[in-house]
Amino acid sequence: MSFIIPDEILDATKMTEAELKQEIAVMLFQKKKLGLGKASEFAGMNRILFQHLLASRPCL
């Protein structure tokens, strides 16, 4: 399944499409909706880079 991120959303968030996908992947991983492999795949990153992204975030 594909979905389109409207330019208005990207403009409002001041994020690139890749950054927004990473944010969604992090949120889904933190909520335990996606495992590490699927979340990193959704983010367009390999697992190691995605783990570094997670580690750079403050714990909630």
Contact 37, 15 (CB under 8 A): no
Whether pTM exceeds 0.85: yes
pLDDT of residue 2: 85
Neighbours of 35 (CB within 10 A): 11
pLDDT of residue 60: 59
What pLDDT tens digit does each residue of the chain (60 aa) get? 788 989 999 999 999 999 999 999 999 999 999 999 999 999 999 999 999 999 998 875
Write down the domain spans for the chain.
Answer: 16-55
